[in-house]
Amino acid sequence: MKTLKINSEKDLYLAAFKLLNILGPVAGVSIIIGTVALGYVQTRPQDLPVTHILTHGKRTFNLEAASTPEQLEKGLKFRASLNGDGVPPTVGDRGMLFNLGGETYNVPFWMYKVNFSLDIFYLKDNVVTTAIYNAQPCHKTPCPIYKGKVANQVLELATGAANIKVGDRLNIQPLSVLPKNNIGVDSGTSLKTKNNR
């Protein structure tokens, strides 16, 4: 490697200028690539595994559970459907359960950057305390804020998927506590009976 000998202040400025001519474009390209990558990561939908099941009446709902602050914040944003893979859901087959980590009052939810309408149910110990029907997508702020009186969980289902009302007690179970005799999990996305594989 060649060492640079600097005899005067002018030579120092000239060397710095040459270095900037090399590093400037590299830094510019790095900033552009970083900005594009960050934008992609921020607008990428989350696809959480099905971890809970809700049975209500004769219907069964497979639920993804959002529990971390990042998961709670992103929710169903940017998704094409509740299935998460762009395939329109069969009405009532999927949903998202938000675990709030404790009893919370005036729980705010909004539909910012959610691409389809939802029914939102605020739950305290599996009892519906507030129901919002047909919450519409919102792509520009300000968006309506839907508040639940009190909740430790919030359930989002496709609009009209279930006949759930305030006061209903919902049967939501983690998959790990379901009876093992006749139920299995297929790739983490749907429940099937052992006889129906």
**Predicted pLDDT at 92:** 53
| HSE of 58, CA atoms in CB hemisphere, 13 A | 0
**Predicted pLDDT at 174:** 95
CATH fold for domain 50-175:
Jelly Rolls (2.60.120)
Sequence letter at residue 43: T
**Predicted pLDDT at 192:** 41
Contact of 154 with 109, CB cutoff 8 Å: yes
Domain boundaries, the chain: 8-44, 50-175
Q: What is the pLDDT along the chain (197 residues), one digit of tens a residue?
A: 566 566 777 777 777 777 777 867 766 666 666 555 555 555 678 889 999 999 998 889 999 999 999 999 999 999 888 775 555 544 558 999 999 999 999 999 999 999 999 999 999 999 999 999 999 999 999 999 999 999 999 999 999 989 999 999 999 999 886 555 444 444 343 344 444 43
CA–CA gap between residue 113 and residue 111 (Å, rounded): 6
Return the SS3 of 10. Answer: helix
Cβ neighbours, 10 Å, residue 147: 14
CA–CA gap between residue 38 and residue 102 (Å, rounded): 32
Contact of 131 with 164, CB cutoff 8 Å: yes
